[in-house]
Structure 1
Amino acid sequence: MSTLLIALGVGALYLVVYHTYGRFLARRIFKLRDDVEAPSVALNDDKDFVPTDKFVVFGHHFTSIAGTGPIVGPAIAVIWGWVPALLWVLFGSVLLGAVHDFGSLVVSMRNRGQTVGEISGRVLNPRIRFLFLLILFLALTIVLAIFGLVIAVVFKTYPGAIFPCLVQIPLAVAIGVWLHRKGIGLMVPSLIALALMYLSVVFGDREGWIHSFNMTLAAWPVAHWVALLLAYSYIASVLPVWSLLQPRDFINSLQLITALALVVVGLVVAAFVGGSPIGDSELRPSLDIAAPAFRAGVAGAPVMFPFLFITIACGAISGFHCLVSSGTSSKQLRCETDAQFVGFGSMLLEGFLATLVILACVAGLGLGIQGAGGEVLLGEAAYAARYESWAAAGGLAAKVGAFVDGAANFLKALGLAPQFAVALMGVLVASFAATTLDTACRLQRYVVQELASTFVAKDGEGKTALSGNPLFWLTDKHGATIFAVILAFWVAAIPPQGMDWTWGNVGKGGLILWPMFGATNQLLGGLAFLVIAFWMWRRRLPVWFVAIPTVFMLVMPAWAMGYQLFTEGGWLAEETKNWPLIFIAVATLALEVWMVAEAILCWPRARGVLEEALEPLPRRGSQVDGGRSC
């Protein structure tokens, strides 16, 4: 019963927070207004800037920020006990994550949809902009290089998820064209898309050609998946946002949110009547928390501080979210007042997802998993089998598997078929990863274009010259995206340290830099907070609610990187050194120190002094709603 009380209590807390703290920030601090022309309206180009219903943007935003982060992070962090993981998710999502995402979205909308990296050059100084963009470029390169491997591992582990995930692409294109061209309401397309996607899960691995199709693709080398997914990401990045990226994320969100609702219902049933009967017995195992509340001295595990705050990023706070808020979502919201629903609300929903992951791993697993010898393990034995040591809980398949098995046990408590329950959770994980991949590619395109524009010659009017600079091709969306995709594939193609150059190892190169991603990702959160704080400081707005999170999110990643580099047994102490990883870590620490020093010097002079205004837009009639933004 304690498991159910935690789930219901967290859900109720998030609802209260949204309608109190979220409303306070929206109305009293950011002063959102529905009579202000949003960037999507003022700059509507029917490609990147597209005024869109807030529910569609919510779907895009939620699935893009979630990814596998709120699944993988909590699924490994419960090795230190369920209480620290849950507390960090609760306090992190409310006091840091939701404020970070909401603030990034609002600041971007107030700056014509520019990314936080671009905005930093005006609210701090141009040097900060360049340094910030370099860190963004590094983080997104790691995401693009690793997420093809992530999806490939999920597909190999859960082949029944392949067909349902691939079907989403043509379905999304059809829904996107239908909504955009016909201008109809969301209800009918939403119901049709949801029904078709659930049917694809039910019938997506039946014996016959579909099962053969799934097994054939599951056997593909990782390199094939990485190449295919990066090619797909290129297409999704350069197409108009309404044609693929936006509708795919929207219909994904419908399936994912309803799947989470099913998990909650299953949790309720399991709390009152127990889990699915074991074998031929009528006995239903009781739902209890099988994990210890606190656990110290885990074999091979790093220290809880600071690594708890690096391990759980998405679900508490993640720097990647500032890229989604300021990179894509700010270009699609039709109204300023929709920002609370999308920015603040999505993060709270992600916190609830992370809570369900924690409960699935510490209680759901106890309802029964198969042991190494084929026996059924229950309760503490099930938890111990997955979390005996850091090595046992490590590896993507183990982390994802703990959630999938635990959550599937909740679904099986409803009487759902085990095959369907596992396939649905596999689709959930793979879909989250895929939406992060295609959004990350589009964001990397923006970052490459912004970096290239720094070096491309300008004409007399300050506009980018059309020729005469060898980097000009990177300012074009096709050139920037091709560069991003090729670089990501090159990084992915390098075999990880200690592995031979074989076809089976090609595609795993993202693992070389993956140990850096957690700290780099969290550092982005601190830097985004820094931009938000400066933007508010210049307008004499209260900064109390971002000051402590800013310091916290700058200190924790630096602490983690320093620990990994310089402590006994750290990267510099290893006999076979991973020099690319060491170089990137040292360079990132140096960039952070430089940026913080620049910010400290700038802070006293910035109070009440507005940054340089953007150039006025040429007057033209709005293309939406007769000139009204809402």
Structure 2
Amino acid sequence: MNSLVLVFIGVGMMIGGYLLYSRFLGSKVYQLSDRYRTPAHTMTDGVDYVPTNKFVLWGHHFTSVAGAAPIVGPAVAVIWGWLPAFLWVTIGTVFIAGMHDLGTLWASQRHKGQSIGTLSGRYIGNRGRNLFLVVIFLLLLMVVAAFAVVISNLLVSTPTAVIPTWGAIVVALFIGQAIYRFKWNLPLVSVVGVVVLYALMIIGDRFPIVLPDSILGMSPNAFWIIVLFLYGGIASLLPVWVLLQPRDYINGLQLFVGLGILYGSFLLTAPTIVAPAYNANVPEGTPPIWPLLFVTIACGAISGFHGIVSSGTSAKQLDKETDARFVGYFGAVGEGLLALGTIVATTAGFRTIADWEAIYTAFNKGGVNAFVEGGGNLMNQGLGIPPSLSATILATMAVLFAATTMDTGVRLQRFVVQEIGEIMGVKLGAVAATGVVVVVALALTFSAGGDGSGGMLIWPLFGTTNQLMAALSLSIICVILTRLRRPTWPVLIPLLFVLVVSLWAAVVQVRGFWDAQNWLLLIIDLVIIVAAVWVTIEAFAAMKRARSEDPVVWSDEDTDAPAPVAATADQKL
């Protein structure tokens, strides 16, 4: 089958979703209004609350939520065949991911930019909030620890990506000053920034940085991990406009250009998909497609991590409420396009089915390497880009996606630690909270040895935890919409589906951990399941109460949406 069929259908669905479905959500469900003054204006502090151009904020949001997951997930999931992965990515992006990301962004900025965890306390009770924070803390810990390992592995395996990866930070610092301090023309700054980034890739391809086998007694992987956490800690403390926001913005542009190059190679080569539509002969040990497909591909279809970003950083920078549609929904579309490109690269980027099967010898054998190899082959054939430079471009894309997610994750984890401290009666400053985040993440990362592989210890739980987090966020949105007497079906139907498949997958994993006698993951998985079920029950009880209470009306003059009185205390079910 010609891969262009998938490209045109997939891209058409996602663009149609933004133009049509997101418009319906914005006008009928979330009822976005330009008259409402966002927290970025009412609570401006120059650090976290900063009114931001919607294109700049989109770049920050898109690269923060994307990470390496929309590459890793689809690149692994095509082992079951390209058709299931394609259907989940396209349908999930249009009807679930965009709605979820837009909804969490809308709900947060209507409540002073508060996190989705805090909103759970307002709408379903303090007990639900505490359990919610447990899930959020574990999810963020998985992200920052695992992505540090992923980035370090790529920097070691693809040394040509070292210069553009770290050079992007210097470029971002200049862009932040140019936009906010010197007020230079945004399009001009954007073009110059992208050109410099791609020039750094060419330089990196010519001058790879290969570290010695031992640096200060550490392996290259361990050295990069420590440097990454030091950077993440510093970045989380700086005002968002200095580094985090411009870094994400310019990376977003660069990554979209990279997607353009990748899709351009599809158009010029029109490669044939060599992988089966449905693979009935999966390697031994491959888990069942139901329900594992829906947690293997998280980012790119629906991801709970997006709700944490939307309500953690993006909601504090929204200039106008109507910008939420572009930032939230179109941010999900950007990730869906990356996931779709990954599916094509990993199924049509090989000459024969034998070449494809040589990569997919076992579950989890695809991943980023399959994306880099398959996509690099297509870029070489279609655009004549040398294989080494193609690999550098794609590896840098993966690293920058992961790095922007990691530094945003450290900042978000700092907020969570501070919130947990307040619950426990301990007030933690930004530096102290960041120190806690970095120490805990480093302890996990090096818990299995000096190579830093411990960062992947709890990663097998990411898929189910991430999707359960999405279901919990959707449940909070459902409670809010119920109180406002607005349509809930666009949220409730995806909520029920994601909740069922996520809990199903979590139970499957419990059995696998029991058989493997992996007691650590077994206990953590059970804790997550209990917390998720408990929060869900309280959320549905809150919806039931909301239907019997007087509806709430939000005014565009309100700077903080009123919370229901009944939701401020724990409810006995």
Cα distance per residue 1:408-448 (max 9 Å; x no partner): 12211211122111110010000001001000001111111
Q: Specify the code of the residue in structure 2 equivalent to 1:97.
A: A
**Aligned counterparts of 2:372 and 2:327: Cα–Cα separation in 1:** 27
The answer for the alignment partner of 2:362 in structure 1 is 389
Q: Distance in 2 between matches of 1:444 and 1:111?
A: 20
Tell me the equivalent position of 2:400. Answer: 431
Choose from 292, 298, 301 the match for 2:276: 292
**Equivalent in the alignment of 1:282:** none
Q: Residue 603 in 1 paired to residue 556 in 2? A: no
Task: Give % identity.
Answer: 41
1:254 Cα deviation from its structure 2 partner: 1.2
Specify the SS of the correspondent of 2:32. Answer: coil
Question: Would the aligned equivalents of 2:79 and 2:360 in 1 still touch at CA under 8 Å?
Answer: yes
Q: CA deviation at 1:600?
A: 3.1
Whether the aligned pair in 1 keeps the contact of 2:468 and 2:499 (CA below 8 Å) is yes
Task: Indicate the residue corresponding to 2:368 in structure 1.
Answer: 400
Aligned-residue offset at 1:360 = 0.4
Q: How many pairs are equivalent? A: 552
1:467 match: none
| Aligned match of 2:377 | 409
* TM superposition shift of 1:215: 4.5
Contact preservation (8 Å) 2:169, 2:247? yes
Please tell me whether residue 27 in structure 1 is matched to residue 40 in structure 2. no
The whole-number CA distance in structure 2 between the counterparts of 1:225 and 1:388 is 29
Amino acid aligned to 2:27: R
1:586 corresponding residue in structure 2: 526
Is 1:158 matched with 2:163? no
Q: Which segment is superposed worse, 41-50 or 17-26?
A: 17-26
Aligned to 1:65: 65
Letter in 2 for 1:302: P
Say which structure, 1 or 2, has more relative contact order (CA 8 Å, 6+ apart).
2
Aligned twin of 2:570: none
Partner of 2:108: 108
C-alpha contact 2:479 2:542 (8 A) present in aligned 1: no
Larger Rg: 1
Cα deviation code 1:148-199 (max 9, x no counterpart): 1110111122110011110011111111012111223211111111111111
Change (3 A) 1:84 1:105: same
The amino acid across from 1:578 in the alignment is N
How far apart are the structure 1 equivalents of 2:373 and 2:214? 19
Conserved in 1, the CA contact under 8 Å of 2:75 and 2:368?
Answer: yes
Residue 304 in 1 paired to residue 289 in 2? yes
1:560/1:218 Cα in 2 relative to 1: closer, same or farther (>3 Å)? farther
Q: 1:455 to 1:612 in 2, by over 3 A?
A: farther
1:578 is displaced (CA, Å) by: 2.4
Preserved CA contact (<8 Å) 2:54 2:323: yes
Is the 1:105–1:322 Cα contact (8 Å) retained in structure 2?
yes
Equivalents in 1 of 2:263, 2:192: separation in Å?
A: 23
Instruction: Go from structure 1 to structure 2 and tell me whether the alpha carbon gap of 1:235 and 1:353 turns closer, same or farther (over 3 Å shift).
Output: same
Superposed displacement of residue 11, structure 1? 1.3
Gaps of 5+ in 1: 272-286, 367-377, 457-470, 496-500, 619-630
User: Which of 293, 299, 302 is the equivalent residue of 1:314?
Assistant: 299
Residue number among 325, 333, 337 corresponding to 2:322 in the alignment = 337
Query: Which residue number in structure 2 is paired with residue 509 of structure 1?
Result: 454
**Alpha-carbon shift at residue 341 of structure 1 (Å):** 0.4
Q: Aligned with 2:300: secondary structure? A: coil
Cα deviation code 1:467-517 (max 9, x no counterpart): xxxx22x2x11111111111100111101xxxxx4x3x3x11122211111
What amino acid sits opposite 2:275 in the alignment?
A: A
> In structure 2, what is the equivalent of residue 95 of structure 1?
95
Tell me which of 339, 345, 357 is aligned to 2:342. Answer: 357
Residue of structure 1 equivalent to 2:439:
486
2:194 aligns with: 194
**CA distance in structure 2 between the partners assigned to 1:424 and 1:218 by the alignment:** 27
Contact 1:260–1:353 at 8 Å: present in 2 too? Answer: yes
Residue deviations 1:190-211 (CA, integer Å, cap 9, x gap): 11111111111112132xxx43
Deviation sequence 1:373-426 (CA, Å, 0-9, x none): xxxxx2212111111332xx43xxx41111011111221121112211111001
Superposed displacement of residue 218, structure 1: 11
* Offset at residue 292 of structure 1 (A): 0.6
- Distance, in Å, in 1 between the alignment partners of 2:201 and 2:485 is 53
Contact kept in structure 2, 1:123 and 1:611, CA below 8 Å:
no
Name the amino acid aligned to 1:307.
L
CA contact (8 A) 1:54 1:342 kept: yes
Equivalence for 1:346:
331
1:297 Cα shift?
A: 4.6
Contact 1:76 1:311 in 2 (8 A): yes
Paired amino acid for 1:449: Q
- Which residue identity is paired with 1:408? G
Q: Does 1:527 align with 2:472?
A: yes
What's the secondary structure of 1:581's corresponding residue?
helix
1:421 aligns to 2:390 (yes or no): yes
For the residues of structure 2 that align with 1:12 and 1:529, how far apart are their CA atoms?
26
Other structure's SS at 1:204 match? helix
Q: Structure 2: which 5+ runs fail to align?
A: 561-573
SS in structure 2 of the partner of residue 509 of structure 1: helix
CA RMSD of superposed structures (Å): 1.9
Give the structure 2 partner of residue 265 of structure 1: 264
Counterpart residue type for residue 105 of structure 2: L
Offset at residue 8 of structure 1 (A)? 2.0
Distance, in Å, in 1 between the alignment partners of 2:93 and 2:431 is 36
Give deviations 1:582-607, integer Å, cap 9, x for gaps.
11111111112221222233322112
TM-score w.r.t. length of structure 1: 0.85
